[in-house]
Amino acid sequence: MVVDDSVVIRGMISRWIGAEPDMEVVASLRTGLDAVNQLERFNPDVAVLDIEMPDLDGISALPQLLAKKRDLVIIMASTLTRRNAEISLKALSLGASDYIPKPESTREATAAETFRHDLIQKIRHLGAKARRSTVHTTASPPLAPGHDKPRTGLAPAAAPAQVARRSFGLLQPKVLLIGSSTGGPQALMSLVAEIGPVIDRVPVLITQHMPPTFTTILAEHLARTSKRPAHEGIDGETIKPGQIYLAPGGRHMRIVRHGIDATIALDDGPPVNFCKPAVDPMFTSAIDVWQGSIMSVILTGMGSDGMRGGKDIVAAGGSVIAQDEASSVVWGMPGAAVHAGICAAVLPLNQIAPKLVRVFAGDRS
């Protein structure tokens, strides 16, 4: 279900979706009120929901849609303004599955094609998981509040329990690196709230697949949630313990040694793994500075970004922890790391922080 007050955007998205063999547009609507009133009639698996609309805007329609259909996948779509970035992140906390920035002008071919690719991928992966989850849980009792979501059955032949685990690195980690994508903002907020002792001991560097403006807002949210300094990385700045550094949207964040200090180097090169910023450049570059004294975490996200860099970290003597399938919004990135056999632990999101606190306190078990 496509919901946007722009007839041009509605038509464009509908054509893109209609061209995919595994997707169908069941409704193209102008306002959030139309979406709420006609949800039962069309019964979509996924709704692409604009933020700014007459009668009922996207953020107001969101809880009403989820109240009518709890498992509806909602992807918020908005232009790249600070206000819309704030609203999109708020929407995630209210139950939206993901967000996507709309190009400022659909006439710009590159921007429109990137928007198309990202939107189709998000619809395909989030929609497919939701449908499998619905089928899987039809006959299952509901979980108690606060528990992780039920396992969805993605890649059942190679479930985490069947994949060999590596031992944690022998060296005391001197840095924590985190990579995330779809579902990442919620996961990051949960994680940083619980790893205060780790942040106080070492620097924390994060790459979240996110456009400019959105990363600015996310950094502010991470600072409030962690009660520690957090900001977008600045080219040339010295990396210090007690700080959270977030890769800015549209730039890769690498780590380089400058004298005795570790510093941030922002890279405006091409996308890596279709992403910019990407996790692999951060992971791999960190080895030149900290060698085997690296602890890395790969959280929920589409694709396989972080897996190759994680391999390099493990080869250098560091460690990788991956979020498990059940608690991931999409088990692409962590799943790729698990199946590559590079993980020392595969844990539900709510167990990652306690494990990190123990590891940084000296527990290598």
Here the contacts of 16-25 (C-beta below 8 Å, separation 24 or greater) are 16/116, 16/119, 16/120, 17/120, 17/123, 20/120, 20/124, 22/124, 23/120, 23/123, 23/124, 23/127, 25/1
Query: Is 209 an active-site residue?
Result: yes
- Annotated catalytic residue within 45, 267, 305, 312: 305
Query: Is 285 an active-site residue?
Result: no
- Annotated catalytic residue within 45, 50, 209, 267: 209
Distance CA 341, CA 70 (A): 35
Q: Which residue has the tokens 């009120």?
A: 33
- Annotated catalytic residue within 78, 181, 293, 327: 181
* Nearest C-alpha neighbor of 334 from the set 279, 294, 297: 297
Query: Is 5 an active-site residue?
Result: no
Active site residue ranges? 181, 209, 305
